[in-house]
């Protein structure tokens, strides 16, 4: 990638990681193989974004709607999440990366929920990068939850609502990337993405790499973000 000025890079980059299962099926592999390959892509993307100096990343890993998938696939995903959450935090501490889980993890099996909490606790002191994994996450449910909490304190405002979102304390995403040709938000960060730039690629998540990310970042750098105002 051509060196991009830091101020032209997003502070917060969000990903909807689509196409794992389809990538595997095209190769006559079980869908689980695609999800495992997708974790490797996450690790590559985190490493590259760390090198570029992007301070905040959010990955959509499991939605509240994903419970509709076959039980066998859900159990396979949970196994992948457990392995990731048990193995990765030690590396993240060395790399000064804080891991946060966004979503209602109480619905998960007890050991998986505990793994989420341990990973967050182990990396809580890190401040070099914020890495957020959305698990059992749905934006409408998040907004309803935040609204109830905010209402208990007084009149609901954008600021009070924001304080009770899972992303409290994080900048809103500047750029959302969705892979595998789908062009929708799928109930992901609806409040936070209000002024985000959107970029879609046909490449499935397991095949997503530096070339695709460079293309998205170069497109982002060329855009004019006016936030409802006029270009200065």
Q: Measuring CA to CA, how many Å separate 30 from each of 22, 23, 76, 88?
A: 10, 10, 11, 24
- Contact between residue 74 and residue 135 where contact means Cβ atoms under 8 Å apart: no
Our answer to whether residue 18 is catalytic in this structure is yes
Instruction: Tell me which of 20, 66, 187, 214 is the catalytic residue.
Output: 66
Helix (H, G, I), strand (E, B) or coil at 209: coil
- Contact between residue 60 and residue 137 where contact means Cβ atoms under 8 Å apart: yes
d(CA 135, CA 63): 6
Instruction: Tell me which of 18, 132, 136, 174 is the catalytic residue.
Output: 18
Our answer to whether residue 187 is catalytic in this structure is no
d(CA 52, CA 91): 18
Among 11, 12, 15, 9, which Cα is nearest to 205's? 15
> Any idea which residues carry the catalytic annotation?
18, 66
């Amino acid at each position: 990638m051509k060196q991009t000025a830091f101020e032209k890079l997003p502070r917060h980059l969000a990903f909807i990681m689509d196409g794992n299962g389809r990538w595997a099926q095209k190769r006559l592999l079980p869908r689980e193989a695609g999800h495992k390959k997708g974790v490797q892509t996450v690790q590559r993307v985190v490493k590259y974004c760390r090198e570029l100096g992007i301070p905040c990343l959010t990955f959509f890993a499991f939605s509240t709607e994903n419970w509709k998938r076959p039980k066998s696939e859900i159990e396979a995903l949970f196994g992948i999440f457990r392995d990731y959450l048990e193995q990765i935090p030690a590396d993240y501490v060395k790399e000064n990366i804080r891991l946060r889980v966004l979503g209602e993890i109480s619905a998960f099996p007890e050991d998986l929920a505990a793994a989420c909490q341990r990973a967050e606790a182990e990396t809580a002191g890190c401040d070099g990068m914020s890495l957020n994994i959305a698990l059992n996450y749905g934006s409408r449910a998040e907004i309803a939850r935040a609204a109830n909490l905010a209402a208990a304190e007084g009149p609901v405002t954008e600021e009070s609502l924001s304080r009770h979102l899972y992303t409290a304390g994080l900048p809103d995403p500047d750029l959302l990337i969705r892979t595998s040709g789908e062009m929708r938000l799928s109930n992901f960060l609806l409040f936070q993405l209000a002024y985000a730039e959107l970029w879609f690629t046909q490449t499935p998540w397991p095949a997503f790499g530096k070339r695709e990310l460079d293309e998205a970042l170069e497109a982002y750098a060329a855009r004019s973000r006016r936030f409802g105002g006029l270009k200065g």
